[in-house]
Amino acid sequence: MAVFADFYNAGNIPEDVINTLWDPSVRYGKYTNAIAHIGSTSSVKDFLDKTLRTPNAGNKIIDGGNSNRDDTSQGIRYEQPMQLADGNIVLGDQAMQSDSFGNISDFSTQLGDRAAELDRDCEANALSALPSIKPTAAIAAQAAGFFAQVSTATSHGATGSAGGWNSGTGVFDAPTDGTTRALSETDILSVMEQANTNGANLDQMHMIPALKTKFSNFMMTSSSRIGTLITNAPGDGTGATAVAAVDVYVSDHGTVEVVNNRLMQPENSTGGQERTNVAITETAMANCVDQWTPRAERLGRTGAGDTWQVTSSRATILLTERSHAGVFDINYTLDMVA
């Protein structure tokens, strides 16, 4: 079919294309969206972690007597460096001057996409086992992830151990990898009990999709202590529908939402060495610290185009690591066990 010149002059694009670019990627983190966001005026966020002593059922003194206890506690002062992450926008002159579907060459569209990528990076860091790294002139700062900060209510494979705060170096150490094993309900309940005893009100459990499948499958078996198969049988006789996913886990130590977190990354995905961890958290006792959320700065002209850098400066902190729990060293290709 002939296309006339005045068709172009009308500013139309002569193609039958749906003017939407579909991107199924998850854009927002379920963990960093669930916790409170606070600001930071520094590239390092300092925070205190205090604890009350163990309850003493026999606490008594003689009327008029003097106390013989010294319970003064200033707490532990932690430091979490803000992690500076970046992305680039390159706007070519020719692309900017051309009509395009979905405005893909638009600055605002590109900025939105790059900002979403930095949000995704923040979620992945928050649920990682990365240690914190202090910045130098030659070394970029790195924020410690959940599994480097939690150190009390933890379960590890053989030879594995918790990381946690290192008062000597002033950083959060990475956990030591242990022998991988199947996720077990016993380990989940054990760390939940320990966190609950410490005062936690656990409300979320995060795991990668491959492990969430194993979790739901196990909870539908007779081996599970908690899960129960639910059938919905409509009265019109059209048949029953089995509900085969467990998204809420109820125990004596907390009722938690089980989150299928598609932005959480496995610690190792190499064949035969697959490794991941499970985060069990009290969202009220964690913060996402934003020195600044994604913003763009123009770097200038590069050839026949314009270059911008998008950056964010962020970190996630556990206000007290005892309000959280972690099950480490899970081989996510193995079926969950009792």
Give me the pLDDT at residue 3, please.
45
Residue 317 within a domain: yes
CA dihedral angle for residue 268, residue 128, residue 22, residue 311, rounded to 10 degrees: -130
Rounded Cα–Cα distance for residues 318 and 108 (Å): 34
Determine phi and psi for 121, rounding to 5 degrees.
-60, -40
The confidence band for 242, taking pLDDT boundaries of 50, 70 and 90, is low
- pLDDT at residue 189 tops 50: yes
Residue 94 within a domain: yes
DSSP collapsed to 3 states, the chain = CCCCHHHHHCCCCCCCCCCCCCCCCCCCCCCCCCCEEEECCCCEEEEEECCCCCCCCCCCCCCCCCCCCCCCCCCEEEEEECEEEEEEEEEEHHHHCCCCHHHCCCHHHHHHHHHHHHHHHHHHHHCCCCCCECCCCCCCCECCCHHHHCCCEEECCCCCECCEEECCCCEEECCECCCCECCEHHHHHHHHHHHHHCCCCCCEEEECHHHHHHHHHHHCCCCCCCCCCEEECCCCCCCCEEECCCCEEEECCEEEEEEECCCCCCCECCCCCCEEEEEEECHHHEEEEEEEEEEEEEEEECCCEEEEEEEEEEEEEECCHHHCEEEEEECCCCCCEC
Mean pLDDT score of the chain? 87
Residue 140 within a domain: yes
Give me the pLDDT at residue 23, please.
74
Q: How many domains does the chain have?
A: 1
- pLDDT at residue 110 tops 60: yes
* pTM recorded for the entire structure: 0.85
Give me the pLDDT at residue 75, please.
80
Give me the pLDDT at residue 79, please.
95
Residue 127 within a domain: yes
pLDDT tens digits along 292-335: 999 999 998 888 888 999 999 999 999 999 999 999 999 999 99
The confidence band for 9, taking pLDDT boundaries of 50, 70 and 90, is very low
- pLDDT at residue 5 tops 50: no
Domain hosting 124: range is 27-48+76-199+268-330
Rounded Cα–Cα distance for residues 326 and 201 (Å): 14
Task: Give me the mean pLDDT over the 225-242 stretch.
Answer: 58
- pLDDT at residue 149 tops 70: yes
Residue 166 within a domain: yes
Residue 148 within a domain: yes
Which residues neighbour 204 within 8 Å (Cβ) at sequence distance 6 or greater? 31, 34, 256, 257, 259, 279, 280, 281, 283
Residue 85 within a domain: yes
Give me the pLDDT at residue 252, please.
93
Residue 290 within a domain: yes
How deeply is 321 buried, as exposed, middle or buried, from its count of CB atoms within 10 A (0-12, 13-18, 19+)? buried
The confidence band for 6, taking pLDDT boundaries of 50, 70 and 90, is very low
pLDDT tens digits along 249-292: 999 999 999 999 999 999 999 999 999 999 999 999 999 999 99
Give me the pLDDT at residue 205, please.
98
